A and B are shown apart, each in its own frame.
Chain A
Amino acid sequence: MNSKFIKELTELVRNDIISDEVSKNIQKYYEGKQAATPNKLFVVFGVIGAALIGIGILLILAHNWDDFSRSIKTIIAFVPLLIGQLCVGYALLKKKGRTWKEASGTFLFFGIGISMALVSQVYNIPGDFGTFLLTWIVLSLPLIYLLKSNSLALLHVVFLTYYSCEYGYGFRDYNPSPWLYFPLVLAVLPFYLNLLKQYSTKNMVAILHWILPLSSVIVMGAFIKTEWEFLPLIYIILFGLIYNIGSSSVLKQERLRRNGYLVLGSLGTVILLLVMSFKDVWKELSFEVLMDTQEFYIVLALFVTVLSVMVYSINKSKEGHLNLFKYVFIAFTILFFIGITSPGIATIGVNVLVFALGIIAIKKGADGHHFGILNYGLLIITTLIICRFFDTDLSFVVRGLLFVVIGVGFFLANYIMLKQKNIK
C-alpha cells in the first residue's frame, strides 16, 4: 500500500479524526483489495514481452537460414508452437492468473504464425500473404475464449484488419472484397460484450472501444470496388453508425477519452463534411446512381443498421433534446441524392450542416462547461470559413477581418465560460 496513504492515516488517528480501529480496518481493506488484483503492470509487461519475443523469433527465422537442412528447419518450426501450447495448457490446468494466461496466449499466437511461416519457406508454398494471415487468425481465434484473454482479442482485431487490407486493397488483377471480415469481427463480439458488461471500467475495454471503430473505418474502403462515387455516402453513414453506438445508453456514461466511438464518429463526420463542402467535389461526382451494385447494397445495409441502433437507443433512454451529430448522416444522404442532379444545392446544404454542427458543439460545450467541446465547435466553424476562402472570391480585407472576428470569438467564448465556471 502507498506509504503516503499510511502516513495520512496515522495523522488522522493522531488528530482524533478517526479511531485507531477504523484506521486498521481501512488498511486491511486496501491490503485485501491489492492482493485480489494482480499487478496490472506485470500483465502488460508479460504480454509485451511475449509479443516481442514472438515477433523476434518470426523475423530471425524469416532470414531463411541456408545452413540448416530441411529436417532441422521443420523441427524448429514446431518448437515455438509447442512451447506456447505447453505454457497455455499449464496455465489452463493450474488455473494460473491473468499474467500467465495473457502472456502464454500471446506467445502461442505468434508460435502459430512462426510454424506456418517456416513451413512455407521450407517447401516454397506459394499461397499469398492474405491466406497466410487468415489461417493464422482462424487457428488462434478460439484461444480468446479459452483463455478469456484481452490481448488475444486485441491481436485478433489488429491482424484481422491487416488481413482485410491485404486482401481488399491489394493491387491484384482481380478485385475481391474481404467479406470474411464480418463473420470474424462478429466472432469476437460476444467476448467484447461480456467484457463490457462485467469489466466496463478496465483500460482494455477502452482500448477496444477505439480499435474496433478504427478497424471498421480502415476496412470499409476495401468494399468499394467500382462505384467510387458512393465513397462519401458510405463513410458518412459509417461514421453516423459509430457515433450512434458511442452515444447509446451503454457507452454514453464513458468519459470522452475512453469512448473512441463518439470521438471517431464525430471527427470523421465533420472532416468528411468539410471535404464535401467544396463545390468542385460535387461537380466531380456527377454520375448515374447504379442501384444494382455492391456499393449501393452496402449503403442500404449500413443505413438499416444505424437506424436499428438509433431505435434501440431511443427506446432505452428518453432523451429530450435533439443532437444533430446523431442524425446528420440522414440529412447528408438526402443531400447526396439531390447533389447528383444539382450540385449547387448540395454544396449549400453541406455548408449549412457543418455550420449547424459547429454551433451545436459550441452550445453543448457552453452548457456543460466543457472547454474541449466548446473549442471543438469553434474549430469546426473556423475550418469551414478557411475552406470557403479557397472557392470564393473575397478581398484580403474581408478575409483579414473574418480572422480577427474568429480570434476574438475564441477568446471571448473561453473567457466568458471560465468566468462562469469560477463564479460557480
Chain B
Amino acid sequence: MKNMKTIYIFGIFVVLALVQLFVPAQMIWGREKVLNEGASYKFKTRPVDPNDPFRGKYITLNYELNSAETKDTLWSRNEDVYVKLNKDSLGFAAVSKVSRSKFEVSDDFVKAKVQWYNSKEHKVNFNLEFNRYYMEESKAYDAERVYVESLRDSLPENDTYAIVYVKDGEAVLADVVINEMSIKNYVEKENKE
C-alpha cells in the first residue's frame, strides 16, 4: 500500500518534471523555428544599457521604426498592434500596414504594443517587443559607449541595426550590428584598440 503511494507521488513528479523541461524546451523550439525558417529583417536602432538581476546584462534597443500611419483612431495604450513589414530601398525594415488582428500567415508581421495615437499626423506610435539583447557582462555598458562614439566619429547616418527573424508573427532578435560588425565583436575590437 505504502509502495503504491510512493509510485503515485513519483508519477506526479515525473509529469511535473516533464512540464518543467517542456517550458524551456518549448521556448527554444519556437525560437529555433523562427531563426531557421523565418525571413530576416534589419531594424535601425539605438542601444542603451540596463540589467536584470538574474539574467544578467542586456542592452535595450530603441528602434527607429516606431510609428505608422493609420486611419483607425481608437488606439488605446498597451493594446496589441500587428505590424506588417516590407523592406525599403536600402534593405531595412519598413511598415507596410498595421492592424488589430493578425495578418495572413504568408505575410511577415510582428506584434508590438501601442504607445499613443498622434491624431495630428494620424500615426499610431508603438514599441516593438524584441528590444532586449543580452550581452556579456563586461560588454553591455561598452556597447552603449561604442555606439555613441561611432556616431561622433564619422557616420552622420545611424548605421546600427538589429537583425531580426520573423515567421508567423513571431520575431527573434538574432544579432545587433554596428558598422557592419556584430556588436559583440565590435566592442571587443574597440576595447583592444
Contact A120 B13 (CB under 8 A): no
Q: In chain A, what residue has the closest Cβ to B55? A: A117
A-B CB contact pairs (8 Å), 11 listed: A64-B136, A66-B136, A89-B17, A93-B10, A117-B54, A132-B55, A135-B23, A146-B13, A173-B77, A174-B77, A174-B78
Residue B172 at the chain A interface, CB threshold 8 Å: yes
Taking the closest CB of chain B, its distance from the CB of A73, in whole angstroms, is: 10
Taking the closest CB of chain A, its distance from the CB of B124, in whole angstroms, is: 16
Cβ-neighbour of B28 out of A62, A74, A108, A142 (below 8 A): A74
Contact B132 A124 (CB under 8 A): yes
Residue B19 at the chain A interface, CB threshold 8 Å: yes
Q: How many pairs, one residue from A and one from B, have CB atoms within 8 Å of each other in the complex?
A: 112
Q: In chain B, what residue has the closest Cβ to A125? A: B27
Residue B131 at the chain A interface, CB threshold 8 Å: yes
Interface string of B2-39 (1 = CB under 8 A from A): 00001001101110110111011001100100000000
- Also in contact, A77 and B24, with CB within 8 A (given A65-B136, A89-B13, A124-B133): yes
- Also in contact, A92 and B10, with CB within 8 A (given A78-B24, A119-B27, A124-B130): yes
Residue A211 at the chain B interface, CB threshold 8 Å: no
Q: In chain A, what residue has the closest Cβ to B32? A: A123
Contact A123 B172 (CB under 8 A): yes
Taking the closest CB of chain A, its distance from the CB of B43, in whole angstroms, is: 13
Cβ-neighbour of B54 out of A108, A113, A122, A139 (below 8 A): A113
Contact A139 B131 (CB under 8 A): no
Q: Which B residues lie at the A interface, using CB under 8 A?
A: 6, 9-10, 12-14, 16-17, 19-21, 23-24, 27-28, 31, 52-58, 77-78, 129-137, 139, 172-174, 184
Cβ-neighbour of B24 out of A62, A63, A64, A116 (below 8 A): A116
Contact B136 A63 (CB under 8 A): yes
List B contacts of A123 (CB < 8 A): 27-28, 31, 172
Residue A341 at the chain B interface, CB threshold 8 Å: no
Taking the closest CB of chain A, its distance from the CB of B173, in whole angstroms, is: 4
List B contacts of A64 (CB < 8 A): 56-57, 134-137
- Size class of the contact patch on chain A: 35 or more
- Also in contact, A146 and B9, with CB within 8 A (given A62-B137, A64-B134, A124-B132): yes
**Known contacts A59-B54, A119-B27, A121-B56; 18 further A-B pairs (Cβ under 8 A):** A62-B55, A62-B56, A66-B135, A66-B136, A66-B139, A89-B14, A92-B13, A116-B27, A119-B28, A120-B27, A121-B55, A123-B28, A124-B58, A124-B133, A124-B172, A125-B132, A139-B23, A146-B12
Taking the closest CB of chain B, its distance from the CB of A149, in whole angstroms, is: 12
List B contacts of A389 (CB < 8 A): none
Residue A112 at the chain B interface, CB threshold 8 Å: yes
Residue A115 at the chain B interface, CB threshold 8 Å: yes
Residue A165 at the chain B interface, CB threshold 8 Å: no
Contact B6 A93 (CB under 8 A): yes
List A contacts of B184 (CB < 8 A): 66
Contact A124 B55 (CB under 8 A): no
Residue A88 at the chain B interface, CB threshold 8 Å: yes
Residue A184 at the chain B interface, CB threshold 8 Å: no
List A residues 110-146 near B (Cβ within 8 Å): 112-113, 115-117, 119-126, 129, 132, 135, 139-140, 142-143, 146
Q: In chain A, what residue has the closest Cβ to B137? A: A63
Q: In chain A, what residue has the closest Cβ to B57? A: A64
Contact B139 A92 (CB under 8 A): no
